[in-house]
Amino acid sequence: MHSTPANTPDPAALGRRLAARDRTAAPAALNVLELTGERHAPAAAALLAEVAPDKLGGEAPGMIVGVTGPPGAGKSTLLSELVAKWRERGKSVAVLAIDPSSKRSGGSLLGDRARIRVTPGDSDVLIRSTATATRLGGLAPATREAAFAMAAAFDVVIVETVGVGQSETDIAELADTTIVIVQPASGDVLQFIKSGVMEVPDLLVVTKADLGAPAMRAARELEAAVKSIGSNTPILQVSSLPPSTGVDDLIDAVETHHAKVDLPTRRAAARRAAALDAYAHEYGESGLRAIGGRRAAEQLLLENRPSTGLHTLLTALEEAR
C-alpha cells in the first residue's frame, strides 16, 4: 500500500480518470509522474496501473508522435501549426516538450511552453515542459510514463525532444511515429548521415519551405541519403509561416503511418525499453550484472506478457536482483 498526503489527489483515481478520457486529470497526473525518488514510486505505479493495457483492455488509443531535430530547425513553430490543425480536425492534443537541463545546476529554461502557440482556455490542449535532468537520449526520466498515460486521454500525444544525434534516438523507442526535422542550408543532412540518425525517422520533414531553392536542395539531399540506406522514408516540405503550407500533408502522413503500425508490438517494445532504461539509470552497470547483464534483462522482459504495464516490467527486473 502507498500513502499520499491529504491534499494530494489519489494516484489511482487520477489514472482511472485518464482511462475515462477525463483530460482535466492530466496536469495532476503529470505532477505525480514527475516526482522523483523511491518514496514517490508507488504513487506513479498506482496511477500507471490504471492506464496499462491489461486494465484498458488494449493499448491506449492516442497516437504518440515523436518530433526531434536540431535547435533552430523550427520545431516549436511547426508544433504550433500541428496543434492548430489537429484541433481543427477535432482532435485533443497533449505536447510534452523536453527542454535541456543545465549540467551545473540541473535547471531548465522550459522555454517550449512559451514558444508553442495555443488558444487560451482550450481544455483539449495540454502543453507541458519537462527538463531532461542532464540525461542523454533526449527524454526526461518521466517522459515515457507521461506519454503512455496521456495516450489514454488525448487523441494525439506529441513528444518533442532536445536536439538530434546518436544520444537522441530514444524517441524512436517511445513514439508510434517519429518525425525528424531538417532545416535548409544548415549542414544537417551530412550530420544525420554521419550520426546514423537516418535510420531513426518514420517521416523526414524539411522546414522553412518558403525559402525555395535551399529547401528543395535539402529535400533532394535527404532523398539521396534515404535511398543510399535502402529506405523509403517519406520526405515532406513544410512552411510554418502564415499561411502555412504542407502541415495538413504532414498530419495525413502521420495518420497514414500510424494506421499501419502494429501498435501492440511497438508499444510493448517501448515499455520494455523504458523499464530497462529506468532500471539501468537507478542501479547502474552493477545492477545489470546482478541479473546476468543486459541481454539477460532483455530476455526477462520478453518473458512478460506484451500487455504488461511499465511498472510491472520494472518490478520484474528489480525482483530478479
CATH number of the domain where residue 179 is located: 3.40.50.300
pLDDT at residue 259, as a whole number: 95
5 and 82: one domain? Answer: no
Return the DSSP state at 7.
Answer: T
pLDDT at residue 229, as a whole number: 81
Quick check: 111 pLDDT over 50? Answer: no
> Binning pLDDT at 50, 70 and 90, where does residue 102 land?
very low
244 and 148: one domain? Answer: yes
Cell of 93: 492534443
pLDDT at residue 103, as a whole number: 38
From CA 179, how far away is CA 305, in angstroms rounded? 29
pLDDT at residue 278, as a whole number: 82
Q: End of a domain among 18, 41, 57?
A: 57
216 neighbors 103 (Cβ within 8 angstroms): no
From CA 39, how far away is CA 48, in angstroms rounded? 16
Report pTM: 0.88
Backbone conformation region of residue 318, classed left if phi is above 0, alpha if psi is from -120 to 50, else beta? alpha
226 and 293: one domain? Answer: no
pLDDT at residue 295, as a whole number: 92
pLDDT at residue 84, as a whole number: 93
pLDDT at residue 109, as a whole number: 38
pLDDT at residue 262, as a whole number: 96
255 and 280: one domain? Answer: no
Residue 6 sits at φ, ψ, to 5 deg, of: -60, -30
**Which amino acid makes up residue 123?**
S
- Looking from the CA of 57 toward its CB, the CA atoms found within 13 Å total 2
From CA 236, how far away is CA 37, in angstroms rounded? 42
51 and 189: one domain? Answer: no
Quick check: 134 pLDDT over 80? Answer: no
> Binning pLDDT at 50, 70 and 90, where does residue 107 land?
very low
206 neighbors 235 (Cβ within 8 angstroms): yes
pLDDT at residue 9, as a whole number: 81
Q: End of a domain among 260, 288, 312?
A: 260
From CA 233, how far away is CA 204, in angstroms rounded? 7
205 and 270: one domain? Answer: no
105 and 158: one domain? Answer: yes
229 and 80: one domain? Answer: yes
177 neighbors 63 (Cβ within 8 angstroms): yes
**How far is the CA of 233 from the CAs of 10, 80, 246, in angstroms?**
44, 24, 17
Look up the domain containing 24 and give its range.
Answer: 1-57
pLDDT (mean) for 255-267: 95
pLDDT at residue 163, as a whole number: 61
Residue 198 sits at φ, ψ, to 5 deg, of: -60, -20
Quick check: 101 pLDDT over 50? Answer: no
164 and 102: one domain? Answer: yes
**How far is the CA of 181 from the CAs of 43, 59, 171, 176, in angstroms?**
36, 28, 13, 16
189 and 297: one domain? Answer: no
Quick check: 238 pLDDT over 50? Answer: yes
Residue 125's beta-bridge partner residues? 93
Across 16-20, 194-198, 219-223, 315-319, the highest mean pLDDT is recorded for 16-20
241 and 283: one domain? Answer: no
Quick check: 177 pLDDT over 80? Answer: yes
Task: Identify which of 193, 133, 138 has the alpha carbon closest to the alpha carbon of residue 164.
Answer: 138
Please tell me the total count of domains within the chain: 3
**512552411: which residue's cell?**
239
7 and 140: one domain? Answer: no
pLDDT at residue 196, as a whole number: 62
Q: End of a domain among 57, 73, 94?
A: 57
Which of 16-20, 68-72, 123-127, 150-154 bottoms out in mean pLDDT, i.e. has the lowest?
68-72
From CA 12, how far away is CA 48, in angstroms rounded? 8
From CA 299, how far away is CA 306, in angstroms rounded? 13
pLDDT at residue 151, as a whole number: 98
